């Protein structure tokens, strides 16, 4: 049974939302970040990264308290306003290729601890601690964790009907995404939705494992039992058929001392290899990899006798690549921190991957077939952890649209 709650969100006023909302500041290159901060005084980036020119000289705690102070300034100036009644929020994001619609709610930290909220990624303790401290001293969360729920026709029909009405706001981003938000604050309607989720056994984290772990840690340290906000996690719940899962392709700087011919000979032990010369290649099925090496594309199809797996993790293409190529042949043990490997989102063209390798910093690239939501759920249900950078999942939520105060 999944527990969800409404909450009094802090939101930009309707006339300012298009100027306030922003991507995560980590997604901005330096010049773009500086331009936003210099020329858009309403950008939520001013809250996320105040006094950005001297951040390296400020302690983490002081920096996070500055975030809170700037946040309070935005509220004082009525750039951000808190809703008067608890509500849930329907949020729709339309990109140039996809449309995503989900609901923004609070989900239970108890459900997280009791594994009713399922995980499939490993977290880094240092990063979790930093995020926990950020939430503690800034006293808000503006980036919901993306979670999926099983397809539910009743809920989807309700969302569809609700989104036919005029939205509380509608705006386009510089990335040409259209965003809509509907506030639902009718108590009977909220109770009806809560009852639907009480019949759902599990929610699955699709994106935001560090944020959820940080929120759980913050809840554990909560010394004020009257502050129940810390018992819940800002979440964007979306039907599992409405997420888009992309792959992360791999770039490796060298062949670990192997000559090209010797490397391909080693690959032949596990894969049926087809040299496609200059023809760009994208895998079309599981257990098929693409490779770009020495100005040529290759298809690598796992041999049938090697296609024997005991767990969902073993059958994952990213794990197959790691176990058969990256670790034994290229001596890459740590997929997260080894400086010889980097990752390119499957949203980017493989011609971009080719261009990067042709520029000379990397020697070989591996192109993967994307995982699907069923694989992610199977791993989570078995308490297994995906290799780092196995999936790039959409939708991505903009900051400053719906803020959950802690």
- Write the pLDDT tens digit of every residue in 222-246: 888 888 999 999 999 999 999 999 9
- The answer to whether position 21 is within a domain reads yes
Is the bond into 117 cis (omega within 30 degrees of 0)? no
- The answer to whether position 298 is within a domain reads yes
Residues 12 and 146 in one domain: yes
Q: What confidence score (pLDDT) does residue 294 get?
A: 96
Q: What is the pLDDT of residues 372-393, one digit of tens each?
A: 999 999 999 999 999 989 999 9
Residues 182 and 296 in one domain: no
Q: What confidence score (pLDDT) does residue 278 get?
A: 94
Q: What confidence score (pLDDT) does residue 222 get?
A: 87
Q: What confidence score (pLDDT) does residue 162 get?
A: 96
Residues 224 and 252 in one domain: no
State the Cα–Cα distance between residues 356 and 229, nearest whole angstrom. Answer: 46
Residues 289 and 337 in one domain: yes
- The answer to whether position 377 is within a domain reads no
Q: What confidence score (pLDDT) does residue 251 get?
A: 97
Residues 115 and 232 in one domain: yes
State the Cα–Cα distance between residues 269 and 338, nearest whole angstrom. Answer: 25
Residues 176 and 279 in one domain: no
* CATH code at position 306: 3.30.1760
Kindly tell me the burial class for residue 152, based on how many C-beta atoms sit within 10 Å of its own C-beta (0-12, 13-18, 19 or more): middle
Q: How confident is the model at residue 8 (pLDDT cuts 50, 70, 90)?
A: very high
Residues 266 and 212 in one domain: no
- Residues of the domain holding 160: 4-244+394-405
Q: What confidence score (pLDDT) does residue 52 get?
A: 54
Q: What is the pLDDT of residues 65-122, one digit of tens each?
A: 999 999 999 999 999 999 999 999 999 999 998 999 999 999 999 999 999 999 999 8
Q: What is the pLDDT of residues 46-71, one digit of tens each?
A: 999 876 555 556 788 888 999 999 99
Q: What is the pLDDT of residues 273-323, one digit of tens each?
A: 999 999 999 999 999 999 999 999 999 999 998 888 999 999 999 999 999
Out of 13-22, 172-181, 221-230, 389-398, pick the least confident: 221-230
Residues 304 and 164 in one domain: no
Kindly tell me the burial class for residue 244, based on how many C-beta atoms sit within 10 Å of its own C-beta (0-12, 13-18, 19 or more): middle
Q: What confidence score (pLDDT) does residue 308 get?
A: 86
Q: Which residue has the higher pLDDT, 154 or 34?
A: 154
Residues 252 and 164 in one domain: no
Q: What confidence score (pLDDT) does residue 36 get?
A: 87
- The answer to whether position 387 is within a domain reads no
- The answer to whether position 379 is within a domain reads no
Closest by CA position to 293, among listed 378, 358, 338, 339: 358
Average confidence (pLDDT) over 176-184: 96
State the CB neighbour count (10 A cutoff) for residue 85: 11
Q: How many domains does the chain have?
A: 2
Question: Is 366:291 a contact under the CB 8 Å cutoff?
Answer: yes
Mean pLDDT, all residues of the chain: 94
- The answer to whether position 97 is within a domain reads yes
Question: Is 109:211 a contact under the CB 8 Å cutoff?
Answer: no
Question: Is 45:34 a contact under the CB 8 Å cutoff?
Answer: no
Q: What confidence score (pLDDT) does residue 224 get?
A: 85
State the Cα–Cα distance between residues 180 and 82, nearest whole angstrom. Answer: 18
Nearby residues of 202 by Cβ (< 8 Å), 6 or more positions away: 2, 116, 117, 118, 381
State the Cα–Cα distance between residues 395 and 402, nearest whole angstrom. Answer: 15
- The answer to whether position 381 is within a domain reads no
Q: What confidence score (pLDDT) does residue 105 get?
A: 98
Closest by CA position to 385, among listed 319, 287, 334: 319
Residues 265 and 224 in one domain: no
- The answer to whether position 341 is within a domain reads yes
Residues 197 and 283 in one domain: no
> What φ, ψ does residue 195 adopt, rounded to 5°?
-65, -35
Q: What is the pLDDT of residues 322-344, one digit of tens each?
A: 999 999 999 999 998 899 999 99
State the CB neighbour count (10 A cutoff) for residue 119: 19
Residues 137 and 33 in one domain: yes
């Amino acid at each position: 049974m999944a527990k969800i709650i409404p909450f009094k969100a802090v939101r930009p006023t309707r006339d300012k939302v298009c100027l306030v909302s922003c991507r995560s500041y980590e997604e901005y290159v330096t010049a773009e970040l500086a331009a936003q901060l210099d020329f858009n005084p309403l950008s939520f980036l001013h809250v996320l990264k105040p006094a950005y020119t001297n951040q390296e000289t400020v302690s983490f705690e002081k920096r996070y308290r500055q975030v809170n102070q700037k946040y309070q300034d935005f509220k004082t100036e009525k750039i951000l306003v808190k809703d008067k009644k608890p509500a849930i929020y329907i949020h729709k994001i339309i990109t140039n290729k996809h449309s995503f619609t989900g609901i923004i709610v609070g989900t239970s930290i108890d459900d997280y601890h009791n594994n009713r909220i399922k995980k499939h990624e490993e977290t880094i303790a240092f990063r979790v601690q930093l995020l926990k401290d950020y939430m503690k001293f800034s006293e808000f969360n503006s980036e919901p964790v993306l979670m999926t729920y099983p397809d539910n026709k009743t809920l989807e029909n309700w969302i569809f009907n609700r989104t036919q009405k005029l939205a509380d706001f509608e705006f386009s981003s510089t990335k040409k995404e259209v965003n809509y938000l509907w506030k639902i604050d009718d108590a009977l309607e909220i109770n009806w939705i809560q009852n639907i989720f009480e019949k759902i056994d599990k929610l699955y984290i699709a994106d935001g494992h560090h944020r959820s772990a940080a929120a759980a840690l913050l809840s554990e340290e909560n010394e004020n039992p009257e502050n129940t906000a810390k018992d819940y996690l800002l979440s964007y719940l979306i039907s599992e058929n409405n997420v888009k899962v992309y792959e992360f392709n791999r770039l490796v700087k060298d062949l670990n001392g192997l000559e090209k011919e010797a490397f391909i000979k080693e690959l032949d032990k596990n894969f049926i290899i087809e040299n496609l010369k200059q023809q760009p290649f994208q895998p079309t099925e599981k257990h098929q990899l693409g490779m770009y090496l020495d100005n040529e594309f290759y298809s690598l199809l796992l041999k049938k006798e090697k296609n024997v797996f005991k767990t969902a993790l073993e059958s994952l293409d990213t794990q197959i690549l790691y176990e058969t190529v990256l670790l034994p042949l290229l001596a890459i043990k740590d997929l997260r921190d080894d400086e010889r490997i980097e990752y390119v989102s499957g949203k980017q063209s493989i011609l971009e991957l080719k261009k990067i390798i042709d520029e000379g910093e990397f020697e070989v690239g591996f192109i993967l077939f994307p995982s699907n939501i069923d694989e992610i759920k199977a791993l989570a249900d078995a308490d297994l952890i995906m290799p780092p950078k196995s999936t790039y999942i959409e939708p991505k939520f903009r900051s400053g649209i719906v803020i959950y105060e802690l």
